[in-house]
């Protein structure tokens, strides 16, 4: 099955390895050989029409016609004529007989996108076709037959429309014989970077330029963004970056110019509905501060490993060390210091190597444990202080480093009572 799914992906240009995507493709593959009605559900931009083409092209009807109709884009007064045809004189402007899509595509497949926007009277006509294959042209009394497979799609909750009386319940269950749920990008985040790289290569070939690349921070922002427009939005963003960016390595700053709300869901920042632009700038400061903390942690790791290597030290067995550590019951507190019982002390001596410093132990002083503040406001305040110190109080340079306006920086200095 895996090899077959991979072949489908290559044939139809589908990028991704998400289990949810594979499940939807597997369902489409299995139902293709039947004539069952299919309802494809998913957010706008996820590629529902691609799934309808997969079902048609893998079905016995693949050599017959396929047509995709956006029912939400057809005016209510003409949709019956478009779908079922009309007789001459049926209404003003009907100067000739006209065949509808259900007649011209007989023997093939019709894809009805945005089925939730279909008028109620048209839904009644469609239900009759699904049940008996019969329909009547507008202005005619003659019953016609058609042999057509219907695949419908929607990005709205049809059950909610049924409750509101805007969609027929019997039609819903008739269409929903086989449901296919196409996952959104936020449900398949592992595919976002793969799609970005594919689009970047495609646009590099199209515009005869080098392919864009993302920095680690930009990639993280890409993968954490919710992408409300899904694959369509992602493709548009990559195209804009490919065309508008002189530098082909895309960082956070450049990404913000194209997708200004890229950090909308990244940080648990307080929302201030009256100052949207300001809250965005605050989130950006915190985002940069978190990345600086990550870099500092990596530096500490590197320093520790280098000290171990240069001093020819051996790393203790962490598992053995944890097992040898005493329980709370083995500790007794005497003169403000913890001492282990003899049993626990011997366990440490037997199982764990202890490395003694060459210096005199009396040189060490009592250490005080400092609990680091995890407040987002404290982190933001500290980051502003660092920027001001780096540029010796020059607000303009500090604001540019922080990625905010000088006015916002001035307000923050007053808010936190920061001495320059």
Identify the domain containing residue 287 by its residue range. Answer: 276-326+373-420
- Reported as a pLDDT band with limits 50, 70 and 90, residue 339 is very low
Mean pLDDT of 162-169: 95
Mean pLDDT of 19-28: 96
Q: Is the residue at 52 inside a domain?
A: yes
Whether 282 and 248 share a structural domain: no
Q: Is the residue at 346 inside a domain?
A: no
Tens of pLDDT, residues 340-361? 444 444 444 444 444 444 444 4
Q: How many domains does the chain have?
A: 3
Q: Is the residue at 217 inside a domain?
A: yes
What is the pLDDT at residue 361? 46
Range of weakest confidence among 111-125, 228-242, 278-292, 381-395: 278-292
Whether 110 and 240 share a structural domain: no
Range of weakest confidence among 249-263, 307-321, 385-399: 307-321
Tens of pLDDT, residues 285-299? 666 666 667 667 777
Q: Is the residue at 267 inside a domain?
A: no
What is the pLDDT at residue 236? 94
What is the pLDDT at residue 176? 93
- Whole-model pTM: value is 0.62
pLDDT: which is higher, 183 or 348: 183
- Reported as a pLDDT band with limits 50, 70 and 90, residue 338 is very low
- Reported as a pLDDT band with limits 50, 70 and 90, residue 108 is very high
**Domain endpoint, select from 214, 229, 258:** 258
CATH number at residue 142: 3.40.50.300
Q: Is the residue at 338 inside a domain?
A: no
Task: Name the E strands within 293-412.
Answer: 331-334, 337-340
> Running DSSP on this structure, what letter comes out for residue 186?
G
Mean pLDDT of the chain: 81
CATH number at residue 251: 1.10.8.60
Whether 196 and 246 share a structural domain: yes
Helices (H), 225-371: 230-244, 252-258, 276-310, 318-324, 342-351
Whether 232 and 153 share a structural domain: no
**Domain endpoint, select from 183, 205, 225:** 183
For residue 269, pLDDT beyond 60: no
**Domain endpoint, select from 125, 158, 183:** 183
- Reported as a pLDDT band with limits 50, 70 and 90, residue 93 is confident
> Nearest-CA neighbor of 152 among 104, 85, 83?
83
Q: Is the residue at 229 inside a domain?
A: yes
Tens of pLDDT, residues 216-241? 999 999 999 999 999 999 999 999 99
């Amino acid at each position: 099955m895996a090899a077959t799914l991979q072949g489908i992906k290559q044939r139809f240009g589908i990028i991704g390895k998400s289990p949810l995507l594979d499940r939807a493709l597997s369902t489409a593959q299995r139902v293709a050989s039947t004539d069952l009605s299919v309802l494809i559900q998913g957010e706008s931009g996820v590629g529902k029409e691609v799934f309808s083409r997969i079902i048609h092209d893998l079905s016995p009807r693949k050599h017959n016609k396929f047509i995709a109709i956006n029912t939400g884009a057809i005016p209510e007064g003409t949709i019956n004529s478009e779908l079922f045809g009309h007789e001459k004189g049926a209404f003003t402007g009907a100067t000739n007989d006209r065949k509808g899509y259900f007649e011209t595509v007989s023997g093939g497949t019709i894809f009805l996108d945005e089925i939730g926007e279909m008028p109620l009277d048209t839904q009644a006509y469609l239900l009759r076709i699904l049940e008996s294959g019969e329909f009547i042209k507008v202005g005619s009394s003659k019953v016609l037959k058609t042999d057509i497979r219907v695949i419908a799609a929607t990005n709205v909750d049809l059950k909610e429309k049924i409750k509101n009386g805007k969609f027929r319940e019997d039609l819903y269950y008739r269409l929903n014989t086989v449901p296919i749920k196409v996952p959104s990008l936020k449900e398949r985040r592992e595919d976002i970077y793969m799609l970005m790289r594919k689009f970047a290569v495609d646009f590099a070939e199209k515009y005869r330029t080098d392919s864009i690349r993302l920095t680690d921070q930009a990639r993280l922002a890409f993968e954490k963004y919710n992408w409300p427009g899904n694959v369509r939005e992602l493709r548009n963003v990559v195209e804009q970056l490919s065309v508008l960016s002189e530098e082909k390595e895309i960082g956070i700053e450049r990404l913000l110019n194209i997708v200004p709300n890229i950090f909308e869901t990244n940080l648990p920042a307080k929302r201030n509905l009256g100052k949207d632009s300001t809250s965005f700038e605050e989130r950006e400061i915190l985002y940069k501060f978190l990345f600086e903390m990550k870099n500092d942690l990596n530096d500490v790791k590197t320093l520790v490993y280098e000290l171990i290597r240069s001093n020819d030290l051996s790393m203790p067995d962490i598992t053995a060390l944890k097992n040898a550590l005493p329980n709370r019951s083995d500790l007794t507190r005497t003169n403000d210091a913890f001492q282990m019982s003899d049993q626990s002390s011997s366990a440490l001596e037997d199982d764990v190597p202890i490395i003694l410093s060459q210096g005199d132990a009396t040189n060490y002083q009592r250490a005080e444990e400092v609990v680091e503040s995890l407040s987002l406001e404290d982190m933001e305040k500290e980051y502003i202080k660092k920027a001001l110190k780096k540029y010796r109080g020059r607000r303009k340079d500090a604001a540019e480093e922080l990625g905010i306006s000088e006015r916002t920086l001035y307000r923050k200095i007053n808010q936190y009572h920061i001495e320059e």
